[in-house]
Structure 1
Amino acid sequence: MVTVSLKTSIAKLEFGERGRERMEATYLVVMMTLLAGVVISCPPSDRGALLAFKSALTDPYLGIFNTWTGSDCCTGWYGISCDPTEGRVNDIILRGESEHTLFAVAGRTGFMSGSLSPSLCSLDRLTTLIVADWKGISGEIPACITSLPRLRILDLVGNQITGEIPVDIGNLGKLTVLNVADNNITGNIPQSIVSLGNLMHLDLRNNRISGEIPANLGKLSMMSRILLKQNELTGSIPTSITSIYRLADLDLSMNQISGSIPAQLGSMPVLSTLNLDSNQLSGEIPGCLLRSNGLNIMNLSHNALEGYLPDVFSSTTYFSMLDLSFNELKGSIPASLAFARYIGHLDLSNNHLCGEIPVGFPFDHLEASSFSDNDCLCGAPLMRVC
């Protein structure tokens, strides 16, 4: 210790403060050079989990898993990304439809069979899990997937997955995207889903999910898209949904939803697409829906909506598509509809409307099919003279 202190004192006397700083800078450069040569590779536990995941799947055409060789799963393994500092697996991104060279050489989209191994649940640094559009992957979503604390994206669209959405899905507090569309999922929407406070995109389309939509789904205040089309959902539209300020796209079509349409949907500031067609909705169409300045696409067809069409259109009305066909609407076509700023597609067919079809825009560019099968509509473009 005396020798070290003596050498330090001599160094300070000889070189002064500036010399000491140069020594420290040199030491720092040497250490950085040494560290740069250290290669951080995935730990054996992550590699083992991926190999178990691989063993539960069969890829007969593309040979994606042929790249999963060697001891370092962070380098050269197709679809795998790791944290550069820890060397832990962060992302699994395997899409059956891609522009990657593997797909171009094969000249086809992907196909995989097999199931999702629970070994995924040991990848506790996983933030993204995308196993999408493989068409033949079946089995259930591993229940233990809800134990992944950092998972932000869960995308399993376009497979043959069965079973239910894990009941504890609400444990994934950082989840922003939940997409299990185009599968064979059954059961109810778990009540715990309303605990996903960061969820922005919910896509459960084209499954066999039944039961009612959770009444307090409106707690998901970050949501921008709720897509529940073509399931077996029943009950009414929760009015809590209308409190989701950021919601831009709501698709509840092709279910068995009943009751009336919440009038508050017409006051949502960001909502631009509303698809409620092919349900069992009844009651009148709220005037604020047709008066809304934000709604651009609205499909209420194939329901049991009744009453008169609200005469609430104005110069700010802008619909690229407005479909009210196959309902029980009566009365005349509102004269104010002729003052709309723009209506690209309008379908009022298969109702009980009567009276003369207004002239001018938008009626002058619509075909007869937009007004067919009503009780007593007349005028152009129909062949019935008033």
Structure 2
Amino acid sequence: MEMMMRRLRLAFVMVLMIMVVMHSASTVVEGCSASDREALLDFKASLNEPYLGIFSTWSGDDCCSNWYGINCDPTNHRVADINLRGESEDPIFLKAGRSGRMTGSISPSICKLDRLTTLIIADWKGISGEIPGCITSSLLSLRVLDLVGNRLSGHIPPSIGNLRKVTVLNLADNDLSGELPASIVQMSSLMHLDLRNNRISGQIPSDIGKLTMLSRVLLGRNQITGPIPNSIATIYRLADLDLSMNRISGSIPEQLGRMPVLSTINLDCNSIGGQIPASLLSNTGLGILNLSRNGMEGSIPDVFGPKTYFMALDLSYNSLKGKIPTTLLGANFIGHLDLSHNHLCGPIPIGEPFEHLEASSFDYNDCLCGNPLRTC
């Protein structure tokens, strides 16, 4: 009997030891991997955030638990999301009563986090240096790449097209230069492209129409040259197009006005010439059209109708001639209208929308007359 009891006790101890080992192994699996933690700490070491103390939360062995801005995949406990925004409604910002400011650079160690799906390092105002080129070869699971509002310089990595799963690419409000990489048209999942307010030069790829999922193309305030590619008009889902404040030349593709979803077009402050396509002004889905400060010629197409609904229509600072179209009187709604600084002539039509417009909407034309200008 005593021998049997010893054997039972021994068996119990062995089972207990196995349970402890299994629990220890489980604890290791449930925490973030050591390599991910090391990569995050290397990434942190290249940055300085002195005001909010967000990196003070990056302590302990488990980077999946309570590390500010870090989320892990629950199935494999690998780091999946980095979400660090310098302008946020998070309590840490509200308590400090300020937006964030961070200096330093984005360390290439970020590329060791090869399961990342979201990389947001946005609106820190002082982060400089280049975008690590290894991102386009190592982070192939990325779906969101958002580095807006920093001081990043250098070129967009030429192999950016490798990021085939990215739906949002936002590099706006930085100091990026160089041309748009030709490979960008390979980003087949891209829906939102925002590169505004940089120093990007060169032409828009002629085959940008390959990006069939795009809903927003925002390239304003750069140094882009060349024509508007005809293939843009084949992007069926495109709703917002901003090419303003560039050096774009040529004429506006007539097909642009036939796009079924397009609601906003900003082409102001370029060197675009030719005539205004009638299809642009007759497109009943278009709500904002800004063609100001270009070299548009000819007359304003007389194609407005009862379904016309423009929140803003700005044709100022061009070389337009002829009369103001009388069909504007039949428009459903015209909010802001600016026809100033052209060569228009003749009487201003009487009725809405002209009754609520000020003289500044018609100033500096050759011989316009009528309310709110001088009497004809």
TM-score range, shorter chain: over 0.9
2:32 maps to 1:42: yes
Corresponding position of 1:137: 127
Q: Give the AA of the match of 2:194.
A: D
Specify the code of the residue in structure 1 equivalent to 2:296.
L
Which structure 2 residues correspond to residues 268-307 of structure 1 after superposition, within 5 A? 268-307=259-298
Which residues of 2 match residues 184-333 of structure 1 at below 5 A?
A: 184-333=175-324
Is residue 335 from structure 1 mapped to residue 323 from structure 2 by the alignment?
A: no
CA shift at 1:335, angstroms? 1.0
Using the alignment, how far apart are the partners of 2:337 and 2:55 within structure 1?
50
CA distance in structure 1 between the aligned counterparts of 2:289 and 2:120, rounded to whole angstroms = 31
Which position in structure 1 is the counterpart of 2:16?
A: none
**Cα deviation per residue 1:280-333 (whole Å; 9 max; x = unaligned)?**
000000001000011000000000000011111111111010000000000110
For residue 111 of structure 1, the aligned residue among 87, 101, 109 is: 101
Question: What amino acid does structure 1 have at the position aligned with 2:65?
Answer: T
Over the matched positions of the two proteins, sequence identity in percent amounts to 66
Given the alignment, which residue of 68, 81, 91 partners 2:81? 91
* Offset from partner CA, 1:137-194 (integer Å, 9 cap, x none): 0000000000211000000000000001000000011010000000000000000000
Task: Name the Cα RMSD after superposition.
Answer: 1.3
Query: 1:7 matched to which residue of 2?
Result: none
Pairwise CA distance, 1:385: 1.5
Match 1:153 to one of 144, 147, 165: 144
SS in 2 for 1:322: strand
Q: Deviations over 1:197-255 (max 9, x none)?
A: 00000000000000000100010000000000000000000010000000000000000
Matched residue, 2:47: 57
Determine helix, strand or coil for the equivalent of 2:93: helix
Shift of 1:101: 1.4
Distance 1:360 1:85 in 2: 65
Following superposition, the deviation at residue 273 of structure 1 comes to 0.2
| Matches of 1:149 and 1:205, distance apart in 2 | 24
Give the match's secondary structure for 1:274: strand
Q: Find the residue that maps to 1:345 and give its secondary structure.
A: strand
Alpha-carbon distance in 1 for matches of 2:154, 2:212 = 28
Distance 1:257 1:265 in 2: 15
Question: Are 1:77 and 2:77 counterparts?
Answer: no
Letter in 2 for 1:45: S
Find the partner of 2:57 among 47, 67, 75: 67
- CA shift for structure 1 position 364: 0.6
SS in 1 for 2:134: helix
The amino acid of 1:65's aligned partner reads F
Counterpart of 2:353? Answer: 362
| 1:1-34 CA-partner distances (Å, limit 9, x unpaired) | xxxxxxxxxxxxxxxxxxxxxxxxxxxxxx9xx8
Unaligned runs of 5+ in 1: 1-30
**Aligned residue number for residue 183 of structure 1:** 174
Query: Residue in 2 aligned with 1:17?
Result: none
C-alpha distance in structure 1 between counterparts of 2:143 and 2:75, whole Å: 20
Paired position in structure 1 for 2:112: 122
Report the Cα distance in structure 2 between the residues aligned to 1:98 and 1:203, rounded to whole angstroms: 20
Q: Count the aligned residue pairs.
A: 353
Q: Distance in 1 between matches of 2:345 and 2:162?
A: 54
Q: Does 1:349 align with 2:344?
A: no
* Distance in 1 (alpha carbons) for counterparts of 2:300 and 2:57: 61
TM-score of the superposition, structure 2-length normalised?
Answer: 0.92
Offset of residue 100 of structure 1: 1.1
- Matched residues in 1 for 2:184 and 2:273: separation? 28
Instruction: Report Cα offsets for 1:251-292 as digits up to 9, x if no partner.
Output: 000000000000111100000000000000000000010000
Aligned partner of residue 344 in structure 1, secondary structure? strand
Distance 1:385 1:101 in 2: 60
- How far apart in 1 are the matches of 2:154 and 2:259? 34
| Cα distance in 2 between the residues matched to 1:288 and 1:270 | 14
1:46-91 deviation per Cα after TM superposition (whole angstroms, max 9, x unaligned): 0000000000000010000000000010001000000111110000
Quote the Cα distance in structure 2 between the aligned partners of 1:174 and 1:192. 14
Partner amino acid for 1:248? A
Displacement of 1:38 after TM fit? 3.6
